[in-house]
Structure 1
Amino acid sequence: MGQHRTVATTFASAVGERIGASLAGVDAELARRYPGDPGTRQPVHTVYVPADVFAADTLRFWGGRALAALDEHAPDAASLAAVLGLPASLAGPVHDRVRAKLEREPVEDLRIDFEDGYGPRPDDEEDAAAARAARLVAAMYEDGTAAPFMGIRMKCMEAAVRDRGIRTLDIFLTGLMEAGGLPEGLLLTLPKVTYAEQVAAMAELAGEFEKARGLEPGRIRFEIQIETTQAILGADGRSTVARMIDAAGGRATSLHYGTFDYSASCGVGAAHQSPDHPVADHAKAVMQVAAAGTGVRVSDGSTNVLPVGPTSQVHAAWRLHHGLVRRSLTRAYYQGWDMHPGHLPTRYAAVYAFYREGLEGAAARLDAYVNGSGGDILDEPATARALSGHLLRGLDCGAVDAEEVTALTGLSRDGLEGLAGRVG
């Protein structure tokens, strides 16, 4: 008893060394292609505002309109719960948090749109709009009125608008640099991508700007919008979206599904174009698998049914939007687009209810996993990562508070991030 015993083996040490050497390239490739979660906050939505409409008070305007809609059509917790089918236990906390969010931070991610929402304009007009956007964004970050994430959607890399898109990008980035530098929350969107070479071209532009301005390589990153069938399946039968992530050279931050362009490209009639259509589900499933483990996130599209008009019409639009957001969340699409201030109450109501209703269950399972205290579910490390990620996303958007999570799990944010495998 207590004496060390030699365990018999057959392989010579040289065998393991040889296997290790043969897989060194694979090890490096796995580390490069699949770095895991970036460890940063992901906004719950993106709001698109045409460049000619964007102003210094756009965020306050959206927040004010959203609050007015809430006050008119669901002025208290019970009425909002009745419209959306929220359980009584969640009604108060969700309503209170939605109001507070609309007052404090109504928009998490704003994209100034120079593409479909702006359209073709004379060059001098778009030049001026791009320069103005840069000045406004810089000023908003300077005075603390900016959204956590802001940027532009340029025109795409197709031949007809390529030069215009590149020039707008140049003017906007140059304006930010002249105003003091690129803000931390900067996000850029490349739309209507069909070939990986277009993504590579965007990455090259980013690199050229960095060199010219003395920026750290890789500082400029961008989103890829999936709006064409060719972005999902190429003419050669291969998954194009996976090649696009690779072509970005580590600069891709996320993949955004474009509901209406993609649906139209599949021949779906206007009355049936929706984020829950089967063609949308197929595209988003491909996007999700292609992005898994790469550090590139995914975002759902939007509904174009606006909550306007009489209360009955607003309630119907709210129920539709709320249901679509919940559907996305359960499918691990934690971000989407919002097209109207009236969508904000139901965006946050759906998000907050989703994280709050899962709070105690997720916390209990995580506590049992960390402390080995058992329970009726035997979780593995991968599930612990998912549980931690769930709680972190709830913290990031304001659905839950750090004190609540710590009281239920005994874990600090650092502890959660360690379990979630966040590498940032």
Structure 2
Amino acid sequence: MWAWRPCSVRAGLRGFAETYTIQQARYPAGEPEWQPVHTVYVPADRFTAGTVSAWGDQASSLVKAHLAGPGELAEVFGVPGGLAPAVHERVVRKLASEPVEDLRVDFEDGYGVRPGPVEDGHVEQAAEAVAALHAAGALPRRWGLRVKSFADGDPERSVRTLDGFVTGVVSRAGELPGGFVVTFPKVLMEAYLGQFAEVLARLESGLGTRLRFEMQVEAPQTLHFLRGDLPESLDGRLAAAHFGVFDYTAAIGLPPHEQRLDHPACDHARHVMQTAFAGTGVELSDGSLAASPACGRKGDVHTLWRRHAELVRHSLRHGYYQGWDMHPSHLVSRFAAVYAFHLARYDSYRERVSAWEEQREAGGGVMDEPATIRTLAAALRRADAALQ
């Protein structure tokens, strides 16, 4: 007769408690929190307190001129007729109430290299604009800046801009408003991440708030050091990883006409990012479309919207729920594609979750697994956040 040998067998479990504690800390796998559907990048020299409202006004004007009603929306974006009225109404309302969910004042590629005093001046102007937006209650829920890369060989410039911006906002607003994040680009060496995290730790000492950052994945070299324990090694300061399509595709030698988000090489890079950070709580974001309408004619605007919406849908299908928007016209196609994506399956997802909870058949021959139910529930929470 078999007899349980607890002492001898249990000896093989030495260290389990420590390992399990590490697992829980490294892979919290919690419910998805609110995540912006986009990040809007504005060059620092063009950023003012009126930028957010101006983007919303320009996007709304494009809708009024070139997307008059649900029927036209259905034709341009390929939205089923039954969904078109709800999508159109949400797009119009969103552009009027919250056109920008996440804002970055860009001191890197979109800004370029300027003499030191010139950049210092734009830092001050940007801090003043942020404080004015905060005072008016118009600062986006997420906001921050993109500094220059350490890979450019001048980390002092990057840190000076960050320090000046943060202290400038605090001195004017009396605090660092919630939702602040720093974008750290072109991370070619893993050591840069630790160095930047140390900069944030020193900078935050007098602020009374914790500073976090998002890294950009813009080079094939970066993929080699993406892994699940990376956020832990950075004391939890890594908030997100954003894919940079143009630097990445250039770095691997793709011809200019193939530098696009839906290229298979970009799919590979994004899948590596997903694999590395799955379960860690690090958010993922896709990149951008570097194009605007060729002119103001309806045909050109529709062409741009169709292409951008196609890329947004490609990202959504691959599990990337955030991307970059670089022009006011992108707001229209971004929100239209996102709303249509979530609304198209919302009711069926909810029915399957309800059937599981009530221990009844979902219908249609569907046999859901627990992992699928968790995914469906997460998708509903994500949709609720995006559709609010």
TM-score of the aligned structures, taking structure 2 as reference length: 0.94
Provide Cα deviations, 1:99-136, integer angstroms capped at 9, x if missing partner.
00000000111100000111111211211221222232
Over 3 Å counting, the alpha-carbon distance change for 1:9 and 1:323 in structure 2 is: farther
Query: Are the equivalent residues in 1 in contact too, given 2:26–2:229 (CA < 8 A)?
Result: no
Provide Cα deviations, 1:9-55, integer angstroms capped at 9, x if missing partner.
73234356544443122112212221224753100001100001111
Q: Displacement, 1:247?
A: 4.0
Task: Could you tell me which runs of 5 or more consecutive residues in structure 1 were left unpaired when the two chains were aligned.
Answer: 1-7, 234-238, 402-424
SS at structure 2 position matched to 1:48: strand
Paired residues for 1:238-317 under 5 Å: 239-240=225-226, 244-309=230-295, 310-317=297-304
Over 3 Å counting, the alpha-carbon distance change for 1:88 and 1:295 in structure 2 is: same
- Matches of 1:210 and 1:331, distance apart in 2: 36
Of 32, 48, 54, the match for 1:55: 48
Query: Are the equivalent residues in 2 in contact too, given 1:193–1:225 (CA < 8 A)?
Result: yes
Paired residues for 1:133-144 under 5 Å: 133-144=126-137
- Matches of 1:38 and 1:89, distance apart in 2: 31
- Matches of 1:142 and 1:384, distance apart in 2: 43
Partner of 1:388: 377
Query: Are the equivalent residues in 2 in contact too, given 1:308–1:342 (CA < 8 A)?
Result: no
- The AA in structure 2 aligned to 1:268 is L
Of 58, 70, 78, the match for 1:77: 70
Query: Are the equivalent residues in 2 in contact too, given 1:199–1:244 (CA < 8 A)?
Result: no
Q: Displacement, 1:157?
A: 1.2
Given the alignment of the two structures, is residue 165 of structure 1 paired with residue 158 of structure 2, yes or no? yes
Of 99, 115, 122, the match for 1:122: 115
Provide Cα deviations, 1:310-346, integer angstroms capped at 9, x if missing partner.
2212211111111110111111000001111001111
Q: Which shifted more, 145-154 or 248-257? A: 248-257
Provide Cα deviations, 1:64-104, integer angstroms capped at 9, x if missing partner.
11011111111111011111111100110000100000000
Over 3 Å counting, the alpha-carbon distance change for 1:262 and 1:243 in structure 2 is: farther
- The AA in structure 1 aligned to 2:85 is G
SS at structure 2 position matched to 1:49: strand
Partner of 1:43: 36
Query: Are the equivalent residues in 2 in contact too, given 1:199–1:247 (CA < 8 A)?
Result: no
- The AA in structure 1 aligned to 2:239 is T
Query: Are the equivalent residues in 2 in contact too, given 1:231–1:241 (CA < 8 A)?
Result: no
- Matches of 2:175 and 2:126, distance apart in 1: 14
Query: Are the equivalent residues in 1 in contact too, given 2:32–2:381 (CA < 8 A)?
Result: no
Given the alignment of the two structures, is residue 14 of structure 1 paired with residue 1 of structure 2, yes or no? no
- Matches of 2:46 and 2:61, distance apart in 1: 20
Query: Are the equivalent residues in 2 in contact too, given 1:196–1:244 (CA < 8 A)?
Result: no
Q: Displacement, 1:206?
A: 1.0
Over 3 Å counting, the alpha-carbon distance change for 1:159 and 1:54 in structure 2 is: closer
Provide Cα deviations, 1:266-313, integer angstroms capped at 9, x if missing partner.
111111100011211111110111110010011111111323412212
- Matches of 1:38 and 1:225, distance apart in 2: 24
Of 156, 160, 183, the match for 2:177: 183
Runs (4+) of structure 1 exceeding 6 A deviation are none
* CA RMSD after TM alignment: 1.8
- The AA in structure 1 aligned to 2:162 is L
TM-score of the aligned structures, taking structure 1 as reference length: 0.86
Partner of 1:229: 220
Provide Cα deviations, 1:109-166, integer angstroms capped at 9, x if missing partner.
1100000111111211211221222232233223211111110000011253311001
SS at structure 1 position matched to 2:194: helix
- Matches of 2:315 and 2:275, distance apart in 1: 15
Over 3 Å counting, the alpha-carbon distance change for 1:127 and 1:395 in structure 2 is: same
- Matches of 1:274 and 1:246, distance apart in 2: 32
Query: Are the equivalent residues in 2 in contact too, given 1:46–1:338 (CA < 8 A)?
Result: yes
Q: Percent identity?
A: 41
- Matches of 2:62 and 2:3, distance apart in 1: 73
SS at structure 1 position matched to 2:254: coil
Q: Displacement, 1:246?
A: 4.6
Query: Are the equivalent residues in 1 in contact too, given 2:31–2:378 (CA < 8 A)?
Result: no
Partner of 1:147: 140
Given the alignment of the two structures, is residue 321 of structure 1 paired with residue 312 of structure 2, yes or no? no
- Matches of 2:350 and 2:143, distance apart in 1: 33
Over 3 Å counting, the alpha-carbon distance change for 1:49 and 1:214 in structure 2 is: closer
Partner of 1:206: 200
Aligned residue pairs total 384
